[in-house]
A and B are shown apart, each in its own frame.
Chain A
Amino acid sequence: MSETMTHDAHHEEHPGGIKRWLFTTNHKDIGTLYLWFSFIMFFVAGFMALVIRAELFQPGIQIVDPNFFNMMTTLHGLIMVFGAIMPAFVGLANWQIPMMIGAPDMALPRMNNWSFWILPFAATLLVAPMFMGGNFMAGQGPAFGWTFYEPLSGQYGHLAFFVFAVHLLGFSSIMGSINIIATILNMRAPGMTLMKMPLFVWTWLITAFLLIAVMPVLAGAVTMMLTDKYFGTTFFIAAGGGDPVLFQHVFWFFGHPEVYIMVLPAFGVISQIIPTFARKPLFGYASMVYATASIAFLSFIVWAHHMFTVGMPVAGELYFMYATVMIAVPTGVKVFNWATTMWRGSMTFETPMLWAIGSVFMFTFGGFTGLMLGVAPADFQYHDSYFVVAHFHYTLITGAWYGIIGGVMYWLPKWTGNMYSEKLGKTHFWLTAIAMNLTFFPMHFTGLAGMPRRTADYPLQFTQFNQLSSVGAYIFGFSQLILLYLIIKCIKGGKKATNEVWEGAEGLEWTLPSPAPYHSFNTAPEVK
């Protein structure tokens, strides 16, 4: 490390301490900031989930009042989506994209700094109302669900805080995306054509375009909410000639691509990990790229499958049903590709591979329930029940979040120069995987039996499965402390990592020393 520092000294100053982090324009520092921010938010939102599960451990209201409960479900969702999952992927992109395409840094380093440092302020604005007013337990924060449907959200007293938090998050995402697109399109090493890019880079390129397309739509939705509340407009207020359903159309036009924004980069990570540990090239590279692009395209034309019960005309329902189930085709292509990549490979099962395989199994399961939800007549029964909660936790935890953890484990030796403890990594994986299924699998049953989501209390026939879910959630939550310990331990020391780190690893990042130098590639490598 000190060698690279002196090497860099002639053209860059490195302030120490807090200034290094405040003013940094280095893609690795910023990646680190993003990842730690995401990790903190993950624990904050995870703690909220534990409050939810504690209250739902038995019927009746024991711990928090319904309004506080609703605030917990709302903030858990919002913080996990905008504070934990999305920043984690931007963190991975910051660290990895320059190293994977043979660039020294990101294309727009100052904007990179800004797009990160907006986030803590956005998070503060989002949670600040919780602490307003005299009585904390009354729940002064947003309590209208992460989908903030009008007109319910319009009844919220501190709406402006929420709206500006979303605006800031949007700025951050858009700037992050511009940076990623500019970097990928302009800074690839000579010889690295688009169709030679690693899949993680491809999935992020497509994700970045999705973000740029939909974040302004979200900003538009919250701005209309703001003017409805404070400036007398009635975009979403029926009494003034507005339309509450319009809100849902606008929200889900953002919301459905958002789902793929959270999961496509994870597909990218899994597509890097599986070939490495199967010691065999990805079965169909080109078809993976096309499948990613198809999923991204389809994500724009299926939004109203989240709103089958709002009373659309039957023709609209039929269209959205057909378009939605179509997504199963490119998603299937991805799963088949991963399975055939493993087939007749020479597999080893280090921690990143466990996360990747776990993800393929369980995300596929979440995909099946997704197909079920896409079938409109059946969706009338599933909609807004715990079945949906089970479905999207299978896609977001075992899809997006498994991808993140798999990626962190995969690249951690490259970042720190040290190997992490396989024993801790595997313990963490298995505890998490078992607890995850214990928590969310029973929710399919409670949902089918008729338990609505977002309720602070429930009829007695749902007791048993809710207790299982609560036990699972606590095991899940506390298992994550192992991950925290593992990462700190790996940063502090451990067995030195080689440049290649993994026996079967291919790609430019593995040609760099471990830990990777401050500026990744000062001279562009040649890609054949």
Chain B
Amino acid sequence: MSLKHNNIMTKGLVLLGLWLGGIGSSQAEYKLNFQEPVTAVAREIYDLHMLVIWICLGIAAVVFTMMIYSIINHRKSKGAVASDFHESAKVEVAWTIIPFIILIAVAIPATSTLIDIEDTSDSDLTVKVTGMQWKWKYDYGDGVSYISSLNAEHNRARQRNSGIDVTQIKNYLLEVDNELVIPVNKKVRFLVTSDDVIHSFWMPAFGVKKDAIPGYVNETWTRVEKTGIYRGQCAELCGKDHAFMPIVIRVVSDADYKIWFVRKKAEAEIAAAEASADKVWSKAELMAKGEDIYKGKGGCFGCHGIKGEGIATFPKLVGSAVTTGPAAEHMKTVVKGRPGTAMAAYANQLNDLELAAVITYERNAWGNNASIVQPADIKASR
């Protein structure tokens, strides 16, 4: 009987091992502990984490051994007779004082790490990070500011019944269109805030997590010691697409950072010039641009559906009063948002041209047939 049992146990363990090891071949590897720290803070946190684990395991060893010993030996079926001891001031004082001392031993390193984490002074570079449903905006000042959303291919794959095998997608859900780029070995300060609900900016390898809260500008910082690409996710439930707003940070050498920044700034200037030129755009141009924004950067499809059909309580755009009515109301809704609902104000997320394009698209796609909107109209409505 016991032999048979052992057989089953062995088979089970082998199967479990095969499965844990085996499916890893087509999928990313699982981990048992924190991601490898790449900052001094993350290392301090890791050490603190391991210290507390060892203390807990030590206490567990004592308490559980005692309990298991008495479960095995002090049982009636073995003829154990209950003794009647109870109340002992000495013992009770000891098991109050000793844990207290252990806690102080934990609190000392924890305090110094915490003070380190919260010291944002003397930074070399500041990036403002704004969370919004469901993407991030990175603002470097000096005209460099862009939105970072989930990679389009991943976005298609993650739709229900997309027919795409997500296990074949590298870094599934952890790839964006525009990465956050920072220089290595520089103290980078992040100013973290939000445009709508609460998000949380989490980069596990850096030991950084800070909530992005509307009305607050939180501060945190990092100094990364190794170049590379690091991946994280929004950590605070922020609505339906909470799982789909990753954070990808590319850490580069200082020289590469400078080159990147100059290029990014030039791109931004060209786009701004194009948007503010008093050019009158054709309907076809606006529709093409608008579709890109609707399905990409603007993220409109996330709530209103890829064909404007609406999702859950979020309204459909096909034949709706707003999208087929007067343009002024439509512009107001998109530019200024609808307070008290999930409809955000896009005034600061998209430029005039992009707003004009996406509004035109919504008014003329999927069988809608209403007026087109020019960047100049948007400028006037702001």
Interface of A toward B, CB cutoff 8 Å: 58-68, 70, 133, 135, 138-140, 143-145, 149, 151-152, 154-155, 157, 229, 238-239, 242-245, 278-287, 309-311, 314, 317-318, 321-322, 325-326, 328-329, 332-333, 335-336, 339-349, 357, 360-361, 364-365, 368, 371-372, 375-378, 380-381, 383-385, 445, 448-450, 452-465, 504
Contacts and interface: CB of A to CB of B under 8 A. Distances in A.
A309 B240 contact: no
A346 B82 contact: yes
Contacts of B20: 464
Contacts of B82: 278-280, 344-346, 504
Interface residues of B, number: 111
Contact of B99 (A67, A68, A151, A332): A332
Contacts of B215: 238-239, 242-244
Nearest to B63: A339
A317 B210 CA distance: 13
Nearest to A442: B30
B282 interface: no
Nearest to B159: A61
Contacts of A281: 84, 86
B341 A377 contact: no
6 contacts: A61-B159, A244-B214, A329-B99, A347-B80, A348-B76, A384-B235
Interface stretch (B102-110, B256-264, B354-362): B102-110
A372 B53 CA distance: 7
Interface in B11-41: 19-20, 23-24, 27-35
Interface stretch (B193-201, B271-279, B323-331): B193-201
A76 to B, nearest CB: 14
A309 B211 contact: yes
Contact of A65 (B44, B160, B207, B239): B160
B92 A284 contact: yes
A151 B197 contact: yes
Contacts of B29: 461
Contacts of B162: 60-61
Given A61-B162, A454-B242, 7 more contacts: A60-B165, A152-B198, A155-B342, A311-B210, A322-B107, A381-B49, A464-B20
A143 B240 contact: yes
B83 interface: yes
A345 B44 CA distance: 45
Contacts of B172: 59, 459-460
Given A452-B233, A459-B173, A333 B30 contact: no
Given A280-B83, A329-B100, A344 B64 contact: no
A344 B31 contact: no
Contacts of A461: 27-31
Contacts of A504: 82
Given A229-B340, A357-B71, A457-B244, A65 B311 contact: yes
A343 B74 contact: yes
B107 A464 contact: no
A200 B121 CA distance: 53
A357 B67 CA distance: 9
Contact of B75 (A149, A332, A346, A460): A346
B166 A314 contact: no
B313 A140 contact: yes
B109 to A, nearest CB: 9
A317 B80 contact: no
A365 to B, nearest CB: 7
Contacts of A341: 86
Interface in B50-82: 52-53, 56, 59-60, 63-64, 66-67, 70-71, 74-77, 80-82
4 nearest CB pairs, A to B: A238-B215, A455-B243, A311-B218, A461-B28
A368 B56 contact: yes
A459 B117 CA distance: 28
Nearest to A68: B312
B311 A67 contact: yes
A344 B83 contact: yes
A505 B60 CA distance: 29
Contact of B236 (A60, A61, A384): A384
Contacts of B167: 58-60, 460, 463
Interface in B223-247: 231-244
A383 B243 CA distance: 16
A99 B59 CA distance: 38
Contact of A344 (B70, B208, B238): B70
Given A59-B172, A60-B157, A448-B34, A318 B312 contact: no
A449 B106 contact: no
B219 interface: yes
Contacts of A67: 240, 311-312
Contacts of A66: 240-244
Given A67-B311, A449-B32, A149 B237 contact: yes
B31 A449 contact: yes
Given A66-B240, A340-B91, A459-B171, A372 B312 contact: no
A284 B85 CA distance: 10
A524 B231 CA distance: 68
A321 B211 contact: no
Contacts of A445: 30-33
Nearest to A60: B166
B378 to A, nearest CB: 22
Contact of A309 (B91, B157, B209, B341): B209
A344 B110 CA distance: 39
B99 A375 contact: no
A438 to B, nearest CB: 11
A381 B34 contact: yes
Given A67-B311, A314-B115, A464-B19, A346 B74 contact: yes
A81 B130 CA distance: 34
B30 A448 contact: no
Residue with the greatest number of chain B CB neighbours at <10 A, chosen from A145, A152, A284: A152
B56 A450 contact: no
B74 A155 contact: no
A450 B237 contact: no
Contact of B84 (A280, A326, A336, A449): A280
A444 to B, nearest CB: 9
B48 interface: yes
A330 to B, nearest CB: 8
B200 A384 contact: yes
Contacts of A348: 75-77
Interface in B155-202: 157-162, 164-167, 169, 171-174, 192, 196-198, 200, 202
Interface in B108-144: 110-111, 113-115, 117-118
A464 B23 contact: yes
Given A346-B82, A347-B75, A458 B19 contact: no
Contacts of B76: 279, 346-348
A283 B100 contact: no
B208 to A, nearest CB: 7
Contacts of A65: 160, 240, 311-312
Nearest to A154: B340
Nearest to A457: B243
A175 B48 CA distance: 45
Contacts of A140: 312-313
Contacts of B87: 283-286
Interface string B285-314: 000000000000000000000000001110
